[in-house]
Amino acid sequence: MAFETPTAEDLGLFLNLDEIDGARAGFLISTAVKLCQAVVKPLPEGAEPVVLSAAARAYINPQSISYETIGPQSVQRPQGSGGLYLTKADKTALKSAAGRGGAFTVDPTPATADPSPSYPIDDDYGPGMDWEPGWGWH
């Protein structure tokens, strides 16, 4: 299964909103997709949550307001919690979904390598000769 672009309805469910501005949500989702494609292209299956997360941040807090007071209510949001951007965790999740990032092993041995020893073998040394403890083969 390939990546499927989330819909405005998906964003509304993600944000737990009864009503959502479809045109604005669609624009933010398509922009979030382009932003994610700057990290990984083509977007892999499993990138949908990252797209929704980026679009949701921009939908909820488009002006990047960090502190707001209305009457007796005040809200303080984390620095950089608005606008359309990808967090470090978002980028890591995209790379992981694409099968990139993390530890890996590189085997430098050529496929044509022969497992037999490449050093000269001395037939006059080792088993088949007399072993004398402390002195070795002779």
pLDDT of residue 80: 55
* 81 lies in some domain: yes
**CB-based contacts of 62: which residues, under 8 Å, 6+ apart?**
82, 83
How many angstroms separate the CA atoms of 91 and 47, rounded? Answer: 10
* 130 lies in some domain: no
- Cα separation of the two ends of the chain: 69
pTM above 0.75, yes or no: no
Total structural domains within the chain: 1
DSSP 50-81: HHHHHHHHHHH-TT---EEEETTEEEE--TT-
Higher pLDDT, 61 or 6: 6
Q: Which of 20-24, 42-46, 52-56, 117-121 has the lowest average pLDDT?
A: 117-121
How many angstroms separate the CA atoms of 101 and 136, rounded? Answer: 52
DSSP run (H or E) holding 15: helix 8-15
* 59 lies in some domain: yes
* 125 lies in some domain: no
Give the mean model confidence (pLDDT) for residues 51-62: 87
Q: What is the pLDDT of residues 80-133, one digit of tens each?
A: 555 688 889 999 999 988 888 667 788 898 888 887 766 666 666 666 667 778
Give the mean model confidence (pLDDT) for residues 16-43: 92
Residue 49: pLDDT band with limits 50, 70, 90: very high
Give the total residue count for the chain.
138
